[in-house]
Structure 1
Amino acid sequence: MEINNFIEEFRNDHVFMRNLLLQMTEACLKKDKKKATASLNQLNAFAGPHYRFEEEVLFKELLPVLGSEYIHKLFTDHDFVIARIHRLIEIFTSDYLAEPDFEEGIVLLQSLQLQLIECESICPKMKSFGMKKSLRLLEVMNEIRMKSKDLTSWAESERNREKLKI
C-alpha cells in the first residue's frame, strides 16, 4: 500500500506540473502574459520541493538500480530545467513581449514537458523499494514540501551545481 502511495504522490506531482506547463503553453499561444506568469510562478513554487526531493533523496536511492551514469544524466536534466525556468522568468518579467518571446516560451515549455515525460520513466524502478523504504520516502517528501522554497531560490542558495544559462 505505502509503495503505491509514494509512487502515486510522486506521479501526482508530475501531473500537476504538466498541467501547469500546458496552461502556460496555452497562455503563450493566446499571448496572455498575465496567465503565463501566474502559472510560471506556481510552477516555480511547486517544483522546488519536488526537485529538491529528487536530488537530495530519491536519486541516492535509485543509484544502485539506475547506475551513476544515468543519475548524472538526471542531475544534468535538472540543470537544464532550472536554466529554462530562469529564462522563462526573464521573458515574462520583461515589460514588453513580442511574438518571438512567446514563441521562445513555447519551445522552452515543450522542453520542460519532455523532461517530465522522461522523469516519469523512473517510476517503475521505485516499485522495488519495499514498503518500509517507500513509507520513509513519502514522509521525507512531505517534510521537504513543508520547507516550501521555490525552484530558482533553492537552486541559487542551496543546490551545489553550476548554473547553466540558455
Structure 2
Amino acid sequence: MPTPVQEFTDAFRTEHRGVRDLLLDLVEAFRARDTGRVRELVAAVDAATGPHFRYEEESMYPRLVDIFGDEYVDKLLTDHDGAIRNVRSLYSLAEHDRLTPRQAEDGIELTRRILPHVSDCDGLSIMVETLPEDTVNAILATRRDARAAGLDLLTWAETARERDV
C-alpha cells in the first residue's frame, strides 16, 4: 500500500506527463496544420488541466506558501492565468477549417508557453514530500473532489475559480 506521499507523487507526475504529451502532440498537429487533430488535442488539454489546476490552487499551492513564500506561489498562479488565456486562444485557432502558416505558428507558440509550467510544476512534488501526512491527505482529498467534479479548465476558470483572468 503506497503512502500518501507516494500516491500524490505518482498521480502528480502521471498528470504532468500526460499534459506534457498532449502539448507536444499539439505542437505537431499545428506543424501539420491538422485542424481536426488540433481541435481534439485542445479539448483534451482543457479536460486534463481543469481538475489538476483546481486542486493545485485550492489545496496544494496554499500549503506551499510557508515553504516558498507568497511571491513564488503568486508566480505559479500567474502561470495558470497565462495557461487559461492560452487555451482560450488555442480554441479560437482550432475553430478554423484550415490554418494558415501564421496561425499554425501562433498555435505552436501558445502551446510552448504552457510547457515550462508543466516541467517546473512537476518539481513541486519534492516539496510536498516535506509536508505532514495529514496535509498530503487533504491535498489528495481535494484532488479526488476536483476530478469527481470534472470541470474542464475553462469551465472551472469561468465558474468556480476564485481568481479572475
Q: What is the TM-score when the length of structure 2 is the normalising length?
A: 0.93
**Structure-2 residue corresponding to 1:72:** 74
1:62-101 to structure 2, matched below 5 A, reads 62-101=64-103
> How big is each residue's C-alpha offset from its partner over 1:21-49, in whole Å with a ceiling of 9 and x where there is no partner?
01111111111111111011011011101
**Structure-2 residue corresponding to 1:132:** 134
For 1:108 and 1:51, the matched residues in 2 are separated by 18
Counterpart of 1:11 (choices 13, 17, 30) is 13
Shift of 1:160: 3.0
What 5-or-longer segments of structure 2 have no aligned partner?
none
Count of residue correspondences = 163
The residue identity in structure 2 corresponding to 1:110 is: R
**Contact 1:37–1:92 (CA under 8 A) maintained in structure 2:** yes
Shift of 1:132: 2.8
* Structure 1 segments (4+ residues) deviating >3 Å: none
**Contact 2:59–2:138 (CA under 8 A) maintained in structure 1:** no
For 1:25 and 1:82, the matched residues in 2 are separated by 17
**Contact 2:157–2:164 (CA under 8 A) maintained in structure 1:** no
Shift of 1:127: 0.7
> How big is each residue's C-alpha offset from its partner over 1:70-95, in whole Å with a ceiling of 9 and x where there is no partner?
11111111110101111101111134
SS in 1 for 2:129: helix
The residue identity in structure 2 corresponding to 1:103 is: E
1:146-165 to structure 2, matched below 5 A, reads 146-163=148-165
Q: Compare 125-134 and 26-35 and name the one that shifted more.
A: 125-134
For 1:139 and 1:54, the matched residues in 2 are separated by 12
**Contact 1:27–1:36 (CA under 8 A) maintained in structure 2:** yes
**Structure-1 residue corresponding to 2:104:** 102
What 5-or-longer segments of structure 1 have no aligned partner?
none
For 1:136 and 1:52, the matched residues in 2 are separated by 14
**What fraction of aligned residue pairs are identical, expressed as a percent?**
29
Counterpart of 1:21 (choices 20, 23, 47) is 23
Shift of 1:60: 1.0
**Structure-2 residue corresponding to 1:2:** 4
The residue identity in structure 2 corresponding to 1:12 is: T
Instruction: Tell me how large the CA RMSD over aligned residues is.
Output: 1.3
Shift of 1:156: 1.2
Shift of 1:161: 2.7
The residue identity in structure 2 corresponding to 1:80 is: G
The residue identity in structure 2 corresponding to 1:73 is: K
